[in-house]
Amino acid sequence: MPVFEAVINPPDNNVDKYDVNGPTSGVSNGPGSRAKTKQLVDQYRAIVWDCGDLESITISDGTVNSDKSNDCTMLINWFEQSEHVCGLWVCGDDIAYDLDGLASTPALTLMSTWCGVDFVATSYFDETGGRTGGGTVTPLVTGDADAGIFVHAGVPDKWFAYGGCFVINQFDVLDKTANGKYAASYPVKSATNRYAAISSTTLNPSGFNVNTMWFGFSFQYVRDDAVAAPADRYELAKDVFAWMQFPVHMCCYTDAEVPSAFKLSQNFPNPFNPSTTIKFDMKAKGLVALKIYDVAGRLVRTLVDEVKDAGVYSAVWDGRNNIGADVASGIYFYKMETEEFQATKKLVLLR
């Protein structure tokens, strides 16, 4: 798979522009032999660098063990000379493995000094047992509180890193160094934590932040952990770019998909027997609770108590309490509560 490099123009141009290059690996055709430092410094604020499952020449260093195109030095010069905030998002199964093996000054300076990344292992599958020891092919990745980028209202985001084939998908296991922070973790199957993503913020000589995010797997292997809108890929990209201090556009939503306000609708049918549906809207991602109470204010049933993405949802109450017993006919109240919204409505159960 070829290296894919994407760059985003600064927002002050009033034009959203996305350039994608697919250089052939190993023939001095990488961005390091094409882009000039002044071009990057003047035009670009963020670079997304995704190498898929490529094992070598992921980010070349100009040596005989890599490729004459010196991508590492190109990125370092961009960091050092920019007079604005910079952001680099690195994604790929084996980029840390590749650069650690090169052990050249440009490779290690980029990975360790600027990105705060230390290479631990080239295969999470092998680290968790491999073929004979029950290795995990598709780990459930969890946002880490150390960086807090993928944690909302105290609840970490979760998504799968899809490993369709353990021979192809060898997800890098990472650790932090320098200014690095743990951004996301793989599931722990031993006493040793295994980290999937590292973030870092470093000041360049001009006093501007260089924000980097490093995934030990390709972005193309991100899969949802639950059926809900929006997709986890969108949420991850939104969180990364917001943390990098770049504007986030809601271009992936339609007006119908993203409510303009939190809302709790009247249940239907009402009165009801044996069940009723309650719809509610989330205008932003966050922790939401939807609970049923009796006329004395006692909790009868918890229908929802979890983090939800922005969107329209529904919950069904079957007239039972939290231990599964039928409740008596009568008037009940249902309450929706988020960090910034509360609403209560009445419903009637007739048996």
Question: Do you find a cis peptide bond into 139, omega within 30 degrees of 0?
Answer: no
Domain membership flag for residue 252: no
Cβ proximity of 25 and 2 under 8 Å: yes
Q: Are residues 141 and 272 in the same domain?
A: no
Contacts of 212 (CB under 8 A, 6+ apart): 87, 88, 89, 90, 114, 115, 116, 199, 200, 201, 202
Per-residue pLDDT of the chain (351 residues; tens, 9 = 90+): 334 444 444 444 433 333 434 444 567 777 888 888 888 888 888 999 998 888 888 999 988 888 888 999 999 999 999 999 999 999 999 999 999 999 999 999 999 999 999 999 999 998 888 888 888 899 999 999 999 999 988 889 999 999 877 667 789 999 999 999 999 999 986 657 789 999 999 999 999 999 999 999 999 999 998 877 778 898 899 899 989 988 655 444 444 457 889 999 999 889 999 888 899 999 888 999 999 999 999 999 999 999 988 888 888 999 999 999 999 999 999 999 999 999 999 999 998
**Domain assignment of residue 128, yes or no:** yes
Last residue of a domain, one of 193, 213, 243: 243
The answer to whether residue 10 is domain-embedded is yes
Separation CA 213–CA 84 (nearest Å): 17
Instruction: Evaluate whether residue 248 is within a structural domain.
Output: no
Q: Are residues 207 and 268 in the same domain?
A: no
For the record, the structure tokens of 330 come out as 């009568």
258 DSSP 8-state letter? S
Q: Is residue 251 part of a domain?
A: no
Q: Do 217 and 83 share a structural domain?
A: yes
Identity of residue 244: M
Residue 138 sits in the same domain as residue 230: yes
Domain shared by 225 and 274, yes or no: no
**Which of 211, 243, 275 corresponds to the end of one domain?**
243
Domain count along the chain: 2
Q: Which domain holds residue 107?
A: 4-243
Q: Give Cα separations from 87 to 43, 168, 210, 253 (angstroms).
A: 13, 28, 6, 24
> Is 311 found in the same domain as 226?
no
Do residues 20 and 143 both lie within one domain?
yes
| Residue 172 domain flag | yes
The answer to whether position 30 is within a domain reads yes
pLDDT (0 to 100) of residue 190: 65
Same domain, 25 and 172: yes
284 shares a domain with 237:
no
Say how far apart CA 23 and CA 2 lie, in whole Å. 6
User: In degrees rounded to 5, what are phi and psi of residue 19?
Assistant: -110, 135
292 backbone dihedrals φ, ψ, rounded to 5° = -105, 135
CA separation for the pair 319, 277 (Å, rounded) = 11
Instruction: Report phi then psi at 321, rounded to 5.
Output: -90, -170
Residue-level pLDDT at 1:
36
Q: Which two tokens stand for residue 272?
A: 């009801």
List the CATH number of the domain containing 68: 3.40.50
Q: What is the CATH number of the domain that holds 322?
A: 2.60.40.4070
Question: Does residue 9 fall inside a structural domain?
Answer: yes
Instruction: Tell me, yes or no, whether 42 and 182 share the same domain.
Output: yes
Rg (CA), the chain: 24
pLDDT of 248 reads 59
Assess whether 141 and 190 both reside in one domain. yes
